[in-house]
Amino acid sequence: MRFQQVAGNTAGMSAQHQAPLPLLIPRPLPQAEAFADTLLARMPGRWAPVIAPLMRIAPLGAAIDAVPGTPLLFSSRNAVAAATPLLDPSAHRALCVGSATTAAANDAGFDAREGGPDAATLIENLQRDSRDSAASWLHLRGVHTTGNLAASLRAIGVSARDAVIYDQRPVPLPEPVTQDLRSGRIAAVTLFSRRSALLLLQAVPDLSAEVALMCLSPAVAEAIPADRSNPVHVAPYPDADGMRTLLGR
């Protein structure tokens, strides 16, 4: 493995960034490893990924109340993974947030297409499509989510409900990682969700002000209290490529 799974001793990093900067990636393990691989391939020598998940995805395994043909909404790949064992994917079409979620849904066997890069765009596009706006949607989601997609659709007259099919359960950070976050030896943290931002600050309330917080979207950045002095940066678009673009600047 070309990256650390826990922080090591990164003291002595050059202030001129001559050495790769330690970057904490606190995503669930498979997504964190995949992101680190692509980051190292695209920006060799710039970042030293440190993988330490703040949460793990726990499918709940409850039956989904959806007859064949029920159109589905997916706003994360985790939802696709949790739903696939519970449904016949070939019996459902799906509208997805983001290209990665769309690809995961198609790979799983759903008839999926992208509704937009974020939930707000998906809602706008769905409302403009007469077939979609007349359908009765089921949003399959986790316990913790940003906003309420089904409620937002109902507010514009679209029939929608949701079902919680997985949980995002906290994982304690290894002590070496928390020490490096307190001391500022980790230069930056990628935050792909509001849940990650909240868990980070709960786990390390005395986070060094030198640690830059790299947020996937404005909604993630809004989870960071205004009184924190950490640099906060937002990706230009809300997906992994957007985060890589941010880290490349």
Supply 22's token pair: 């330690």
User: Which H, E and C letters describe 181-200, residue by residue?
Assistant: HHHCCCCEEEECCHHHHHHH
**Do 21-54+171-248 and 57-168 share a fold?**
yes
pLDDT of 159: 97
Burial of 249 (0-12, 13-18, 19+ CB in 10 A): exposed
Along the 249 residues of the chain, how does pLDDT read in single tens digits? 233 434 333 333 334 447 999 999 999 998 999 999 999 999 999 999 999 999 999 999 989 999 999 999 999 999 999 999 999 999 999 999 999 999 999 999 999 999 999 999 999 999 999 999 999 999 999 999 888 999 999 999 999 999 999 999 999 999 999 999 999 999 999 999 999 999 999 999 999 999 999 999 999 999 999 999 999 999 999 999 999 999 998
Give residue 128's Cα distance to chain centre.
Answer: 27
Burial of 152 (0-12, 13-18, 19+ CB in 10 A): middle
Sign of the alpha-carbon torsion through 5, 10, 15, 17: negative
Sign of the alpha-carbon torsion through 84, 90, 91, 93: positive
d(CA 112, CA 135): 15
d(CA 210, CA 21): 13
d(CA 127, CA 47): 41
Contact 93, 126 (CB under 8 A): no
pLDDT of 249: 87
The residue among 169, 156, 128, 151 whose CA lies nearest residue 73 is: 151
Beta bridge partners of 166: 59, 142
d(CA 100, CA 27): 15
The residue among 104, 128, 121 whose CA lies nearest residue 237 is: 121
The residue among 35, 49, 76, 94 whose CA lies nearest residue 194 is: 76
Task: Using DSSP bridges, classify how beta strands 47-51 and 232-234 pair: parallel, antiparallel or unpaired.
Answer: unpaired
69: DSSP letter: T
Sequence letter at residue 33: E
Contact 217, 200 (CB under 8 A): no
d(CA 63, CA 86): 6
Identify the CATH assignment for 57-168 out of 3.40.50.10090, 3.40.50.2000, 1.10.287.1400, 3.10.20.740.
Answer: 3.40.50.10090
d(CA 205, CA 197): 11
The CATH code of the domain at 21-54+171-248 is 3.40.50.10090
Domain residue spans in the chain?
21-54+171-248, 57-168
